[in-house]
Amino acid sequence: MCGRFVSVSPPDEVARYFDALPPQGVLEPNWNVAPTDDAYVVLVDDGERRMAVHHWGLVPFWAKDPSVGSRMINARAEGLADKGAFKRAFRERRCLVPVDGFYEWQAVPGQKAKQPYFIHRRDDQPLAFAGLWETWRGAERARDDRLRSATIITTTANETMAPIHDRMPVVLPASDWDEWLDPDNADVDLLGRLLVPAPADLLVLRRVGSAVGNVRNDGPRLIEAVAPAEHDSLPFGDGP
């Protein structure tokens, strides 16, 4: 799964990286983006690729209450085309979620507390998570007051992530961005074949402190490496 991520790169730089128009709204840098926070997405709207700000946690158009989004921060790639909450967005409203890295927690034998890791690209370029987006307008909202939300698609873990967790976000290479973002592409079989684990050598892991577990904590200290415990077989800091 993906329950926290980092989004600190300047949005104009991220927009250039994705060959997209910059967002109209600018978010503060956040080293601990949590479910229901606002986050950037990249999508195609009116024929133009652009960045936008969406609520993290998909709220389907048919939802009675936006709180349902807190349970839809991730969408499993398997069977996506058949799942009621996601199938329409999968056909019509796909996006990328640009992040600087993300966190995952490893279960530690004999201990209640899990060990957090910061995961990022080996070359420190932004990660492009495959995502879906929706718009929602409840009965009490004005016609032009619509909540735009998004979810991150996950798949099985690759060899790098497997020691930490059995799931990971789908990371799309630049060669797949046009195909994924094309709103006229409704070939769900073809799109589904893009939702595979990233190459094992794309990502590196960094063991970090427990402060990231509190959503109120923020700042660059959250991604600083910490020394391994005696039981830990993974390397200190970033991987090789």
Q: Give the per-residue pLDDT at 84.
A: 87
Across the chain, mean pLDDT equals: 92
Q: Give the per-residue pLDDT at 133.
A: 97
pLDDT tens digits for range 11-67: 999 999 999 999 998 999 999 999 999 999 999 999 999 999 999 999 998 898 889
The pLDDT confidence band at residue 240, using thresholds 50, 70 and 90, is very low
CA dihedral 156, 159, 164, 167 (to 10 degrees): -10
Q: Tell me the three state secondary structure of residue 158.
A: coil
Q: Give the per-residue pLDDT at 72.
A: 94
Q: In percent, how much of the chain has pLDDT > 70?
A: 92
Using the predicted structure, report yes or no on whether residue 229 has a pLDDT greater than 80: no
Q: Give the per-residue pLDDT at 217.
A: 98
The pLDDT confidence band at residue 228, using thresholds 50, 70 and 90, is confident
Using the predicted structure, report yes or no on whether residue 74 has a pLDDT greater than 90: yes
The pLDDT confidence band at residue 86, using thresholds 50, 70 and 90, is very high
State the average pLDDT over residues 69-91: 93
State the average pLDDT over residues 185-195: 96
For the chain, domains (ranges, CATH) are: 5-223 (3.90.1680.10)
Query: Is-contact 59 72, C-beta < 8 A?
Result: yes
Q: Give the per-residue pLDDT at 239.
A: 53
Whole-number Å distance between alpha carbons of 23 and 13 = 11
pLDDT tens digits for range 127-168: 999 999 999 987 655 555 689 999 999 999 999 999 999 999
Query: Is-contact 17 124, C-beta < 8 A?
Result: no
The pLDDT confidence band at residue 93, using thresholds 50, 70 and 90, is very high
Would you please indicate which residues are annotated as catalytic (active-site) residues? 2, 104
State the average pLDDT over residues 184-204: 96
Q: Which residue has the higher pLDDT, 94 or 109?
A: 94
Q: Which residue has the higher pLDDT, 120 or 79?
A: 120
Q: Can you point out the beta strands (E) in 122-202?
A: 127-136, 147-156, 167-169
Q: Give the per-residue pLDDT at 237.
A: 56
Using the predicted structure, report yes or no on whether residue 170 has a pLDDT greater than 60: yes
- Burial classification of residue 46, based on how many CB atoms lie within 10 Å of its CB (0-12 exposed, 13-18 middle, 19 or more buried): exposed
